[in-house]
Amino acid sequence: MSRKIWLDGQIVDEADAKISVFDHGILYGDGIFEGIRFYEGRVFRLNEHIERLFLSAKALLLKMPWSFDEVCEATLEAIRANGLRDGYIRLVVTRGVGDLGLNPYLCPKPSMFIIASGITLYPEEFYEKGLEVVTCSTRRPTPASLSPQVKSLNYLNNVMAKIEALKAGAKEGLMLNEQGYVAECTGDNVFIVKKGEVVTPPVSDGSLDGITRQVIFDLCADLGIPIREASLTRYDIYTADESFLTGTAAETIPLVKLDEREVGDGKPGPVSLKLIEAFRHLVRSEGTEIGL
């Protein structure tokens, strides 16, 4: 069965979901995106994701011709068109059609498409046993060039780091900033647990302020688990009691080995497992109704 795609206000078959070769999203990576999950007929943190999309657009001077409510409804419409209750949404806004020059003001109208489909980022066994991660030589770009809070279409930096990790036989790669502090993984935020306290790098060290990252702060508050931001080095992960990663696609997954060094006893720790359980309960108990 062909997937249905929301494209500039219309639901079209996957084969007909096409954009121009002159679109600046293709030519220059000039655009933004969001990845959003939905569970059991409800979209998790839809408003937060769409708010971040609009903030990314503002940072790039990309004028959105759709209102906040229209984008939310378009997202739900894309899911309904595919008859899905569980899955993943990729929402993309490009600068639109222009010429072969860089000038974004020659792109009169942005384009938006929304894909609703299934996703499995990691096999279930890694949620049970944990991930082995390696440090990549590819560094996160400095916030002085482009804020890590902008989810732009140019992910080549992350792609190159992902290639390094895969070539090293790992499922994920740890990325440092130019000062050598931990930023994030190629697609996930990083947390450690030390003496019962959860610690994650501040966004000023080069990480995206992820929606799932924020959920962990909320869950820790609910569960009485102390949590704070602090700059981390690889040493801090090597010597942590536990570590885990978070992301919309990855959800919450344990990190049990970094650069051949076992984190803790090399198994998912009790705090990580408690947060994973709480997260899985939360995403299935709240959200925006799809309305199938």
Structure tokens given for 25: 């999203």
Q: Tokens at residue 19, please?
A: 């954009």
Distance CA 139, CA 72 (A): 34
97 DSSP 8-state letter: B
Q: Kindly give the residue spans of alpha helices, DSSP state H, lying in 60-182.
A: 68-81, 124-129, 156-167
- The SS3 assignment for 87 reads strand
Could you list the beta-strand ranges (E) of 118-154: 131-135
Angle at the Cα of 248 from the Cα atoms of 247 and 249, rounded to 5 degrees: 95
For residue 39, CA distances in Å to 42, 88, 93, 125 come to 5, 9, 24, 20
Task: At 235, give phi and psi (nearest 5°).
Answer: -55, -40
Tell me if 131 sits within 8 A of 171, measured CB to CB: yes
Q: Provide the annotated active-site residues.
A: 151
- Owner of token pair 């609703």: 116
